[in-house]
Structure 1
Amino acid sequence: MELTISTKDQTLIAKTFFGLETVLARELRHLGARDVKPLKRAVSFTGDLGFIYKSNLWSATALRILRPIANFEVHRQDDLYHNMSQIPWEDLFGIEKNIMIDAVVHSDTFSNSHYASLRAKDAVVGRFTKKFKRRPSIDKENPHVVISIHLIRNHCEVFLDSSGRSLHRRGYRDAVGPAPINEVLAAGLIRLSGWEGRQTLYDPMCGSGTILTEAAILADNIPANIYRKDFSFMHWRDYDEELHAVIEESALNKANPSSCKIIGSDSDISMLTKANINIEKALFQDRIKVWHQDFIGSTKPEENGMLIFNPPYDKKLTSDNFKLYQEIGDTLKQGYDGWTAWFISSDLEALKYLGLRTKSKIKMYNGKLECRYVGLEMYKSK
């Protein structure tokens, strides 16, 4: 077994959604990461303990940041238990911490990830019991420490999850409607569109306001996870509270409010109530404006700008979907000349009913739904 516990530079892993790997890689390079390499649903990079704090705080498109602890071969189920019990867990976190084991398994050795996580858990708590006659508690809802194991064929990598709760849980969204868009996905859509806070951004089906809030975070150079009060790395033995405070203070000092307009509307007034609650909690009530309006038949609120749509879609294609998309396309052609529009949808057939030529098309996933994120351009009328 090879241990890789270090507070100095080491290879870290940032996990993300399919389709956002290059966006996350660019974001990490901008933060100062080295040896950045896009992977499938993840990005590897080099950084030290301080960069773990920094990437958790700043990254808008990472779901979690993983710190490698060990790697070893697993040819029998007992190999997992034996090797996990050899890791000096007591040097990494205290016995008073609640823990959770997360397992990703693609191996013939274990039939499912749940059983692998149980065996790994038994090994970790067994080591504490043997040494101290006590053991850490297990908490799957709000664990202090999250241990992540990736068992691919016969090779197992073990990580400490520095984030704990997924980084999409920013801390500003209290009110949501049905099927709200994930915050990390929203941040990724904005960056894939090329919007950088220099023009008006309009979400005409804004729901609970996630795309709008993520746009304001980007435009005003605010750390995406500044609203969070707890990260798993704060429960490690080598947590440097002073260093974390310095990094957080430096991040806040880099905030730079922009003058671009960020606006939204929705035909459901109850969703606007939720949007305003979230926008206010994120402290953007003076920055983001929303109003009650059905987009169909509307006209552009500014001469130029960008629209980002997350319209209703599901697994079933219906004539209602086609009609809605056709009406959206007609409204864009008649009322939004000179603007750029971006759509994410799993209704690949319905997208054709927009009746507009796409300039970009990106394959993505929203949860388990395969989607396309398409860019459209409406030319100015003569």
Structure 2
Amino acid sequence: MENFKMVAKTFFGFEEVLAKELNQLGAQNVEQGVRMVSFYGDKGFMYKANLALRTALKVLKPIATFKVYNDQSLYKGVQSIDWAKVFRVNQTFVVDVTLNSEHFNHSLFVALKTKDAIVDQFRDAVGKRPDIDKDYPDVRINIHIQNDICTVSLDTSGASLHHRGYRTATNLAPINEVLAAGILLMSGWDGNSHFLDPMCGSGTFLAEAAMIACNIPANINRKEFAFEKWSDWDNDLFEKVETSLLNKTREFHYTIKGYDKAPSAVMKAKSNIKNANLDDYIQIEEANFFDTEKETEGTLHMVFNPPYGERLDIDLERFYREIGDTLKQSYPGTNSWFITGNIEALKFVGLKPSRKIKLFNGKLESRLVKYEMYAGSKRTKFQKNEE
């Protein structure tokens, strides 16, 4: 099978993490861009990327690139593609558009012009036209216009890859699964220590942490991918790729634990973890983090997503101060990471972060911070290292 170019889309800040994932999976010619990483692979690798990538939102397969200055050049460029090779007239399609161009400022107009060029070609060739289906299309076409360059791609994934397939119950403002996986990988989580999410909500960090620890493919629970409706869909190849990935799972010898003080959140998290077939690895308890203390020996890896004040009516100053106090007094020997959209509230934690990384949670500019809580005092640790 021959290799072709693909583009994996991701969130701002995760380009390096995604490139590393692709290299580890065996992609060729991996190149980072902004919110995307391009790479080469064959059809089997396209299946593998969709199944296994934790930090990709979509995997696109570019099929044409041309210059556009106005609606006529767009129409002509789209018409230059032989759409009969892409899908059949009795299949449905939809067009997604991303624009960054002074020549075009309405994505809906670009989508309509693209649709016209495609249906006109079919009508001229076979006297019939394919239908649009916005909800469950057989083929999802992606138009990306950057300045005067238009790239037409096939969306190999379908619905965004953060729809893992395990989360049916959600709490207030749950964290996106791709964002959660990216944060975990960025924090250095590899399954070689105990793990705690002290404000676990609907359990997304817990599920993603367990899948990373056991090397379980991120999208193994997903119901479908867009490429399954393509004319060259190869079910035997897909099953072979899936089996090969599942053969690389590994044992996990530590604990993954989640706390939440809301009984409804605990119930939802347990349900989602069960859906993901991860309940053997994860314990969830109803508890207020501020009343807990470290229970495990060795270094603890902690990752969480505290409320920002956008979501809950809380006294932010007091809440963030309690986070700092609890870490300082009750969690020695812990690497604690959390993401917050309330950058001002960080000063109330009362601890100096050893890392601070700019990310976006949806459209909200956020910070991922790391606090290293040493066993004993920091001074003692350094004295030991010097001896």
TM-score, normalised with respect to structure 1: 0.95
Q: 1:37 aligns with which of 4, 24, 31?
A: 31
Q: Which residue of 1 aligns with 2:385?
A: none
Higher mean C-alpha deviation, range 314-323 or range 25-34: 314-323
2:108 corresponds to: 114
Would you say the 8 A contact 1:317–1:350 is kept in 2? Answer: no
What letter matches 1:360 in structure 2? R
Per-residue Cα deviation, 1:97-142 (whole angstroms, up to 9, x for no partner): 2211010111222221111111111211222222222222212222
**Structure 2 vs 1, CA of residues 74 and 196 (structure 1 numbering), >3 Å: closer, same or farther?**
same
| Superposition RMSD in Å | 1.6
SS in 2 for 1:373: strand
Task: Report 1:196-345 matches (<5 A).
Answer: 196-303=190-297, 304-313=299-308, 320-345=315-340
What letter is aligned with 2:267?
T
Q: Per-residue displacement from partner, 1:221-259 (whole Å, max 9, x unpaired)?
A: 111111113111112222222211111111112222311
Residue among 46, 71, 78 paired with 2:72: 78
Q: Is the 8 A contact 2:164 2:177 kept in 1?
A: yes
Task: Give the residue type in structure 1 aligned to 2:263.
Answer: I
**1:323-357 CA deviation, whole Å, 9 max, x = no partner?**
11101100110000111100101111111111111
The structure 2 residue matched to 1:357, chosen from 341, 352, 355, is: 352
Superposition deviation, residue 25 in structure 1:
0.5
Distance 1:68 1:153 in 2: 17
Per-residue Cα deviation, 1:37-85 (whole angstroms, up to 9, x for no partner): 1111011111112111110010011001111100111112111112112
**Percent identity of equivalent pairs:** 47
Structure 2 CA distance, aligned partners of 1:378 and 1:208?
26
Q: How do 1:96-245 residues align onto structure 2 when only pairs under 5 Å count? A: 96-245=90-239
Q: Which residue matches 2:366?
A: 371
Q: Secondary structure at the match of 1:358?
A: coil
CA distance in 1, matches of 2:183, 2:229: 32
How many residue pairs get aligned? The number is: 376
Structure 1 stretch displaced more, 55-64 or 229-238: 229-238
CA contact (8 A) 1:93 1:235 kept: no
Is residue 346 from structure 1 mapped to residue 335 from structure 2 by the alignment?
no
Which amino acid in the other structure matches residue 283 of structure 1? N
Q: Secondary structure at the match of 1:96?
A: coil
Verify the 8 A CA contact 2:19 2:32 in the aligned structure 1.
yes
SS of structure 2 residue aligned to 1:363:
strand
Structure 1: give runs of 5+ residues left out of the alignment.
1-6
Cα distance in 1 for residues equivalent to 2:154 and 2:129: 18
| Structure 2 CA distance for aligned equivalents of residues 10 and 286 of structure 1 | 40
Contact 2:96 2:140 (8 Å CA) reproduced: yes
Aligned residues of 2:309 and 2:316 also touching (Cα < 8 A): no
Q: 1 CA distance for matches of 2:89 and 2:161?
A: 25
Aligned partners of 1:60 and 1:184 also within 8 Å: yes
How far apart, in 1, do the equivalents of 2:295 and 2:270 lie?
Answer: 20
User: Does structure 1 conserve the Cα–Cα contact (< 8 Å) formed by 2:197 and 2:206?
Assistant: yes
Evaluate the alpha carbon distance shift between residue 131 and residue 280 of structure 1 in structure 2; reply closer, same or farther with a 3 A threshold. same
8 Å Cα contact 1:315-1:369 kept in structure 2:
no
Q: Distance in 2 between matches of 1:238 and 1:329?
A: 55
Query: Paired residue for 2:48?
Result: 54
2:49 partner letter: S
Kindly indicate whether residue 21 of structure 2 is the aligned counterpart of residue 27 of structure 1: yes
Mean alpha-carbon deviation: is it higher for 155-164 or for 119-128?
Answer: 119-128
Contact conserved, 1:92 with 1:238, CA < 8 A, in 2?
Answer: no
Q: 1:317: Cα distance to partner?
A: 12
Structure 2 equivalent of residue 93 of structure 1: 87
Pairwise CA distance, 1:290 = 0.2
- Tell me the distance in 2 between the aligned counterparts of 1:299 and 1:216: 22
Question: Which AA in structure 1 matches 2:50?
Answer: N
Letter in structure 2 aligned against 1:53: Y
Q: Which runs of 4+ in 1 moved over 3 A?
A: 314-319
Contact 2:202 2:265 in 1 (8 A): yes
The 3-state SS of whatever aligns with 1:340 is strand
- C-alpha contact (below 8 Å) 2:50/2:219 kept by paired residues: yes
Taking the aligned partners of 1:117 and 1:367, their CA distance within structure 2 comes to: 24
CA contact (8 A) 1:144 1:164 kept: no
Q: What is the one-letter code of the residue matched to 2:305?
A: N
Unaligned runs of 5+ in 2: 378-387
Three-state SS of the structure 2 residue aligned to 1:353 is helix
Per the alignment, residue 3 of structure 1 pairs with none
Q: Deviations over 1:3-39 (max 9, x none)?
A: xxxx621221100000111100000000001211111
The code of the aligned residue for 2:323 comes to I
